[in-house]
Structure 1
Amino acid sequence: MYSSVSSRSAAAYKRVGVQTSVEGANPHQLISLLYEALLQSLRLAHGATMRGDIETKGKEIGKSVRILEEGLKASLNDAAGGELATNLRGVYNYSISRLTRANLNNDAPMINEVIELILPVYGAWKSIANPAGQPAAS
């Protein structure tokens, strides 16, 4: 099946925009991009669950778990982060567990619970950038 030139162009533009954002980002910004992608995916999963769209729900929960596991957890530095890294790992593990259950049980409130858990963590992450836009010293 063929898609229109404009939709293919829009998709290519979006890929380039995302790639450019990632390539030009410092480590602090990369984590911010992961949080933004996670929250977007969680919201899509929540909406899909509410609509009964099982396929989209599964895809978005899978994407959310991968961001948590392969992005956010993988970026933790236990040696430098100490107790904070340990606590974040716990939040991410709990979130993965809840999302797995939400996926199995088509449970929108569990997905919302994870959103409500991640929002303040992301807010705290955004607040540690200094006025010059560089991450605070760790």
Structure 2
Amino acid sequence: MYKKGIHQYRQVGIRDQIATADPHKITQLLMQSALENLAIAKGCIERKDLANKAKPIAKATAIISSLRSTLDHEAGGEISRNLDDLYSFMLEHLSEASVTNDPQQIADVIEILLPIKSAWDNIPESAKQEAYNQRNAV
């Protein structure tokens, strides 16, 4: 019961953050959630708890697919194309991990996603504001 209460509290906290977040913050939250689910899935595979690996892999896959679908190839140019390739690679690895139960496949995805999230986290406020202004001007 205690764990259920904590889970519900966290869900409300996340919903509150999303309800008031700008697109940059939402992307940060999505990447963080993907990383958390990847860690859970990797742990499940390493512990041979294969029955519980599917849900976190599915969640991480859905998040990465969502991140990929929001890429603006016109405005993003080469960076957007590179991210698309990386997201595609991650999705392939997650599919493979789901079939083969290879935790290294998930570790590879984490290794790729961490620096992307770190770069996203370090975008200066002025650059975020400029991007919002350009988007709203269109």
- 1:50 corresponding residue in structure 2: 46
- Normalised by the size of structure 2, how large is the TM-score? 0.86
Instruction: State how far apart, in whole Å, the 1-side matches of 2:45 and 2:3 are.
Output: 27
Runs of 4+ with >6 A deviation:
none
Aligned length: 131
- 1:135 aligned counterpart, secondary structure: helix
| Separation of aligned partners in 1, 2:10 and 2:48 | 28
Task: Give the Cα–Cα distance (whole angstroms) in 2 for the partners of residues 8 and 44 of structure 1.
Answer: 17
Residue equivalent to 2:92: 97
Which deviations, in whole Å up to 9, do the C-alpha atoms of 1:11-43 show, x marking residues without a partner? 432222111010111111010001100100000
Partner of 1:111: 106
Asked if the contact 1:128/1:136 (under 8 Å) is kept, the reply is no
Normalising by structure 1, we get a TM-score of 0.86
Could you say which structure has the higher helix fraction?
Answer: 2
SS at match of 2:95: helix
Residue 128 of structure 2 aligns to a residue whose secondary structure is coil
| Aligned Cα root-mean-square deviation (Å) | 1.8
Match of 1:129 among 97, 111, 124: 124
Which residue among 26, 34, 37 is the counterpart of 2:33? 37
Query: Tell me, what secondary structure is at the counterpart of 1:81?
Result: helix
Taking a change above 3 Å as real, the CA distance of residues 45 and 7 of structure 1, as seen in their structure-2 partners, is closer
